[in-house]
């Protein structure tokens, strides 16, 4: 291809020299054959390949991040320099975080005590006790549907009542014989005490008999049912708390004072860890440090950009002057060729996205189109100028 270009240029030069002093004719622009939609130019070509749509462009990293703290503070460590490669998660800059680390340690100790083996053993015992109480209360609820005493117990109480009635009669006779004596007479006093004791005992037996043969009252039913519900809830909360201590599944409705305290301790640790994390700028992806705008001891304010990292392993090209007349012919996925001015080489690329928002350039309406290289070229840097040739494709 280059040999054809040189032959054409030499022929043109000979023609001009043969014309002598006559006005030279314009030299036509040399345009190489455009590739089809399935291939782009070889990177060895030093001349741009003209597609249907041509625009100026600039090289930019596919990923770039400007990093800043969300809180103010003094810089305690700067762990990177410009040009250094970093991996995702690497700590780039740290604020003075002594207090934040102490908060994390305190929260960790609290939570560690709450989920210790001893705490788990105590929770298991609490579940056992709560289960027994629940079963007892459930039995009392079932017993509401049955008589309060067996017939044998009722017959026994009736027999005791008959004996107690006879005892009352006997003590009444004994008291009547001495009731006319003075109040301070000891015989009269003893007889009165015996009579009162016999009557009290009889009344107690009659009350027991009535309770045995009567159905439970509404208050009895309500109280017994409420106590059973409390026991059931206590057992459920004990189970949920034990499950939380063991890191097992908890339903959304799980509740309980101990569970709430455990969850609060977990939340406190998470909050403390978040505050500590906010004192560290970390690399969001594998990249190269492009800028470092601070040093140890500096005071920095929130949102102040301190580090810029760029992913130079994946570069893109963004157009700068693609007109509104041409943008309507550009389609995502269209093949293209990108001539990097500094390298003098063209590289195959593909349209990756089209901005729906317009900019203005010298009074003209232009749109930004982003292209991805089919293979990332070596030796390119962000900010290099380029020319792109995009080919129209059918939808």
Alpha-carbon torsion (166, 171, 172, 174), positive or negative: positive
Residue 320: DSSP 8-state: S
Look up residue 180 and give its two tokens.
Answer: 């006319």
DSSP secondary structure string, 195-255?
HHHHHHHHHHHHHHHHHHHSPPPHHHHHHHHHHHHHHHHHHHHHHHHHHHHTT----TT--
Q: Where are the domains of the chain?
A: 1-30, 33-62+314-390, 65-97+279-309
65-97+279-309: CATH topology: OB fold (Dihydrolipoamide Acetyltransferase, E2P) (2.40.50)
In the chain, what is the straight-line distance between the N-terminal and C-terminal CA atoms, in Å? 32
Nearest CA-CA partner of 337 in 92, 66, 79, 46:
46
Residue 54 is predicted with a pLDDT of: 95
Task: Please tell me the distance from the alpha carbon of residue 18 to that of residue 11, in angstroms, as a whole number.
Answer: 11
- Kindly provide the residue ranges of all beta strands, DSSP E only, lying in the chain, ordered along the sequence: 53-61, 64-67, 73-78, 85-86, 91-95, 280-282, 287-292, 299-300, 307-310, 315-319, 322-323, 335-340, 345-361, 364-373, 385-390
Instruction: Supply the CATH classification number for the domain 33-62+314-390.
Output: 2.40.30.170
Report how far Cα 3 is from the mean position of its chain's Cα atoms. 63
* Beta-carbon count within 10 A of 309 CB: 28
* Beta-carbon count within 10 A of 208 CB: 17
Nearest CA-CA partner of 62 in 316, 259, 280, 292:
316
Residue 109 is predicted with a pLDDT of: 97
- Kindly provide the residue ranges of all beta strands, DSSP E only, lying in 25-72, ordered along the sequence: 53-61, 64-67
Task: Please tell me the distance from the alpha carbon of residue 372 to that of residue 350, in angstroms, as a whole number.
Answer: 5
Residue 38 is predicted with a pLDDT of: 45
* Beta-carbon count within 10 A of 378 CB: 7
Please count the residues of the chain: 395
Indicate the pTM of the whole model. Answer: 0.61
CB-CB contact of 144 with 221 (8 Å):
yes
CB-CB contact of 312 with 285 (8 Å):
no
Cα angle 277, 280, 281 (rounded to 5 degrees) comes to 120
Look up residue 83 and give its two tokens.
Answer: 């040009």
Blockwise average pLDDT, block size 10, the chain, 395 residues: 37 39 37 42 42 91 94 96 96 97 97 96 97 93 78 90 95 93 91 95 92 83 94 97 95 96 97 97 95 96 95 92 94 95 95 94 94 92 94 82
CA dihedral 255→260→262→268, nearest 10 degrees, is: 140
């Amino acid at each position: 291809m280059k040999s054809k270009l040189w032959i054409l240029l030499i022929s043109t030069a000979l023609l001009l020299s043969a014309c002598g002093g006559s006005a030279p004719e314009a030299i036509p622009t040399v345009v190489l054959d455009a590739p089809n939609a399935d291939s782009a130019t070889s990177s060895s070509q030093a001349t741009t390949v003209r597609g249907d749509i041509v625009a100026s462009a600039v090289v930019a990293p596919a990923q770039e991040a400007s990093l800043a703290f969300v809180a103010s503070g003094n810089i305690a460590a700067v762990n990177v320099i410009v040009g250094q490669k970093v991996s995702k998660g690497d700590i780039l800059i740290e604020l003075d975080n002594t207090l934040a680390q102490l908060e994390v340690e305190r929260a960790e100790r609290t939570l560690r005590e709450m989920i210790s083996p001893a705490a788990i053993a105590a929770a298991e015992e609490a579940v056992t006790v709560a289960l027994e109480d629940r079963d007892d209360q459930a039995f009392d609820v079932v017993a509401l549907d049955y008589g309060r005493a067996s017939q044998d117990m009722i017959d026994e109480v009736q027999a005791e009542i008959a004996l107690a009635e006879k005892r009352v009669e006997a003590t009444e006779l004994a008291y009547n014989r001495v009731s006319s004596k003075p109040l301070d007479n000891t015989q009269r006093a003893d007889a009165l005490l015996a009579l009162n004791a016999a009557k009290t005992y009889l009344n107690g037996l009659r009350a027991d008999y009535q309770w045995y043969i009567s159905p439970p009252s509404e208050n009895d039913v309500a109280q017994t049912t409420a106590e059973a519900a409390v026991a059931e809830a206590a057992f459920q909360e004990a189970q949920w708390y034990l499950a939380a201590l063991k890191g097992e599944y908890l339903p959304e409705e799980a509740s309980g004072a101990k569970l709430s305290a455990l969850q609060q301790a977990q939340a406190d640790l998470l909050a403390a860890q978040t505050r500590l994390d906010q004192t560290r700028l970390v690399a969001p992806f594998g990249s190269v440090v492009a800028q470092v705008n601070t040093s140890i001891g500096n005071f920095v304010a929130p949102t102040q950009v301190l580090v810029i990292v760029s992913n130079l392993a994946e570069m893109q090209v963004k157009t700068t002057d693609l007109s509104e007349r041409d943008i309507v012919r550009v389609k995502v996925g269209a093949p293209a060729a990108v001539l990097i001015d500094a390298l003098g080489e063209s590289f195959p690329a593909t349209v990756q996205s089209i901005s729906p928002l317009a900019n203005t350039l010298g009074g003209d309406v232009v749109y930004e189109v982003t292209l991805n290289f089919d293979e990332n070229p070596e030796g390119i840097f962000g900010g290099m100028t380029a020319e792109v040739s995009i080919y129209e494709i059918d939808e």
